[in-house]
Every structure is written in structure tokens, then in C-alpha cells.
A = this chain, B = another copy of it.
Amino acid sequence: MLAEIIRQNRLKKPLIHCITNYVSANDCANLLLGCGASAIMADDPEEVAEVTTMCDGLVLNMGIPNPRKLEALLIAGREANRLGHPAVLDPVGVGSSALRQEAARQLLEQVRFAAIRGNATEIATLVCGTVAHRGVDADEQNDATEANARQLAQETGAMVIVTGDTDMVTDGHTLHRVRNGHPMMRSVTGAGCQLSALVGAYIAANPNQPLQAALAAVCAMGLCGEIAHRRLTPPDGNASYRNYILDAIYHLTPEILEEGANYETDC
């Protein structure tokens, strides 16, 4: 079933409008081209509605925000909703400032998202409306994160993806725990931004199966992190690793994903 998600993406080649940040923009664009989609990037309020119109999906990344960019996120998000295009939210560092928290609040109020991806702290911040602090115990923390993910999905109607040691994907009811990935991915900047872009492509190509599409993206990214890690030679570090992950996305087939996806489902 995950195979079919990739197949549709390679077939339909969705054009994704990414409003992202300048740290990860180049990597997101190369990832989208590599997976078979393509990207257009615009971030000014004066043109984002028009650019959104010509695309099949929208990815809104809150990294390195400023008031003008935040206005653009809102305009593009509302336009995607009007057109029925799927929109993905990546609330990068939402707990880092009042500016980001207020931006997230407005985005969740004004835009209907097909998917939201963040780490445990970011998702907890969206749920609580205030910065979440780490729990004392890892198991308790894990339970709290699953509860947060389910709650956010139910409240927003979005597929919620939480990335961490184990990744979670939920529509508020079914919850998948994904075991793909490698700890070294934490040493590659923007790996989360890249995953959000991939979620955008897969959902745009499979609009009627958002949960499966989100799950496929999370498994694909983690699996490519594993494939890339096996390719490392002794002098390779995080810069080569970053390239190898993108290379693995480029070569990812429905069959490789079907065979390598590693997840369990909790209904």
C-alpha cells in the first residue's frame, strides 16, 4: 500500500509550493526534485496566492520567520484551502518566541492543514498554546507525546507527524509508530524540513489517502537515512551523509519502500 503512494507521486509529479527558510531551502528543493516532484519557492505576500494557484500542494515552514513571511504563510494557506490543495505545516521552533507562537495560533485558526509535522516539543507547544517542558521519565514522555499527537489531529483534522527516536503518524484515531531512521540524521540540518516537503509531495499526489501518504513519507525518509548510513565510509561525516540521504530519495522505488518500511499500528 505504501508502494502505491510512491507510484502515484512518481506518476503525477506534483508541483509543490514551498514557503520555507534559507537554511534548508536548497535541500528541500533537491529532495522534491529527487523524489519525482518539483518545487517552486516564493515567500512574498504580493505573489504567494498566485504561485499557490499553479501548484498541487503547499508546504508552510515557520523557520526564520519575520512579519512579512508570516503574512505570506497565511495568504498562501487560505488560498490553498480555497482551491482544495493540501497544505502541510512545519512549526519549526514554535516555542522559541512569541512571534512564532502567535504565528502558529493564527495559522491553525485560519488554515485547514492536511498534515502537521514537528518534534515532540513543537507538537506539545501547538497543543498547549505554550512552551512544553520535558517530562522526567522517557516512557511518560512518550505517552504524553502520543496523546498530544492524537489530540492535535482531532482538533485540526490534520494528519499529525511527530519525529523523534520513534516517529508517530496519526489521524487522531489510528496511530503508526515508525522505527525507520538513524540517530545520525540528527546531525544533518533541515532533515525535518525535508521530511515536511516530502509529506507535501506525497499527499499532493494522493489527496484521498493522507494518512497513508504521511506514513509513506515518514518511512521513506527514515529508510533513506538507513540506506545512506550503510553507504558511509570512514572519512564520511554529516556533509556526505546529507548528500547520501538525498541520493537515496532519488533512487527510492515503491519496492524498496515496501520492503524496508518498519512500523507498527495502534488502532
Binding site for B on A (CB under 8 A): 21-27, 29-30, 33-34, 39-44, 46-47, 50-51, 54, 63-68, 93, 96-100, 186-190, 231, 235-240, 242-251
Given A27-B26, A33-B189, A47-B96, A240 and B237 touching (CB < 8 A)?
no
CA distance A14 to B68 in the complex (A): 31
Given A41-B23, A43-B66, A50 and B97 touching (CB < 8 A)?
yes
Question: Do B33 and A238 have beta carbons less than 8 Å apart?
Answer: yes
Question: Do B187 and A250 have beta carbons less than 8 Å apart?
Answer: yes
- Of the candidates A42, A97, A189, A249, the one having the most CB atoms from chain B within 10 angstroms of its own CB is A189
Residues from chain B with Cβ under 8 Å of A51 in the complex = 93, 96-97
Question: Do A66 and B44 have beta carbons less than 8 Å apart?
Answer: yes
- Please, could you name 21 A-B residue pairs with CB atoms under 8 Å apart, sorted by A? A22-B26, A23-B26, A23-B41, A30-B187, A33-B187, A40-B93, A42-B97, A44-B67, A47-B96, A47-B100, A50-B96, A50-B97, A187-B250, A237-B247, A237-B251, A238-B246, A238-B250, A239-B242, A239-B243, A239-B245, A243-B243
Question: Do A44 and B26 have beta carbons less than 8 Å apart?
Answer: no
CA distance A30 to B24 in the complex (A): 11
